[in-house]
Amino acid sequence: MSVRYQLVIDCADPDGQARFWAAALGYEFAPPPTGFTSWDDYYRDLGLPEEALTGRVDRISDPRGGGPDIWFQVVGDAKIVKNRLHIDVHASGDRTDPIQTRKMRVDTEAERLVGLGATRICVMYEEGIDHYAVGMKDPEGNEFDIN
């Protein structure tokens, strides 16, 4: 039996990260749980102190219900080392499409995400191998790939 889960990403600016990743993934801001008018009201009900509440966006969800919810959790320490887990954004299309078409789609998506605040860090391509990807960092430096 499968289980539901959410992805939690530690960060300094949940609102900024939520806005970037919602735009990157086609997600929407997650509505608060039933019976609450906001996430802060929900957090208060859990017993969190007022100083822990941000009043800002910190959760996103897939409007089609296929992907996991993502919560951007404030942490005090900065990111220092490479992520042990990262997101792959699939933009290339079907593997039966020509590699040049897939490369163009990946590069176009990479440029769109650069416009949202991401940084391009490398291209992963080798002549003769039927794979093309671009390594990126989100606005807080978390690595992800577009393929």
Model pTM score:
0.88
Query: Domain-by-domain residue ranges, the chain?
Result: 6-74, 87-146
CA pair distance 115, 11, nearest whole angstrom: 20
pLDDT digits (tens, 9 = 90+) for 45-94: 999 888 878 888 999 999 999 999 999 988 888 778 888 888 999 999 99
Read off the pLDDT of residues 7-18 as tens digits, 9 standing for 90 and up.
999 998 999 999
Report the 10 Å Cβ neighbour count for 92: 21
In this structure, whether the domain defined by 87-146 belongs to CATH 3.10.180.10 is answered with: yes
Provide the CA 51 distance to its chain's centre, in angstroms. Answer: 26
In the numeric block, the tokens 């807080």 are attached to 140
| Integer Cα distance of 94 and 15 in angstroms | 33
**Each residue's pLDDT tens digit, 110-145:** 999 999 999 999 999 988 888 999 999 999 999 999
Rounded CA-CA distance 50/54 in Å is: 8
